[in-house]
A = this chain, B = another copy of it.
Amino acid sequence: MTGSLYEEVQHFYGRQMRHLDEGEVAEWAATFTEDGVFAANARPHPQEGRPAIEQGAREAARRLAEAGVRHRHWLGMLEVTERPDGSLLARTYALIVATPRGGPAAVHLSCDCEDELVRVGGELKVRHRRVRRDDLPA
């Protein structure tokens, strides 16, 4: 299944967000580099390093499980730019759809996402992610 870089990034996001939404927090954290950073305008400080990223996902998964809500993270409208150093700048729109047990499903949040992706052992990883929720100041 050979394809382009653009497609590889799409495929990567499919796997990555499914890990998050399924609560596979170690697999989710492993899609970032060891020193990966996840910054968001919804949080006062970025998550820095895989342990912090995994811990953040674990807490979010626990809260959702307690509330009986399923989240699905959609990334779309991808733009990919290759940088001189070989890293990639990937820009996407992000939509979080939330469904409580018994329904109804609804849009929960709309964001934009800017990733710096690098290749580690042949696989794409996020070295830096910045997510900005549309409802909050940038």
Contact = CB atoms under 8 A, between A and B. Distances in A.
B13 A135 contact: no
25 contacts: A1-B4, A1-B6, A1-B80, A2-B4, A3-B4, A6-B10, A7-B7, A10-B78, A11-B79, A11-B80, A14-B91, A15-B79, A72-B93, A72-B110, A72-B134, A74-B77, A76-B76, A95-B105, A97-B110, A99-B134, A103-B109, A105-B108, A105-B109, A105-B134, A107-B107
Nearest to A105: B110
Given A4-B3, A6-B10, A72-B134, A107 B103 contact: no
A43 interface: no
A82 interface: yes
Contacts of A76: 74, 76
Q: How large is the interface on A (under 10, 10 to 19, 20 to 34, 35 or more residues)?
A: 35 or more
Contacts of A5: 1, 3
B14 A79 contact: yes
A107 B107 CA distance: 7
A71 to B, nearest CB: 9
A101 interface: yes
B77 A17 contact: yes
Contacts of A107: 97, 104-107
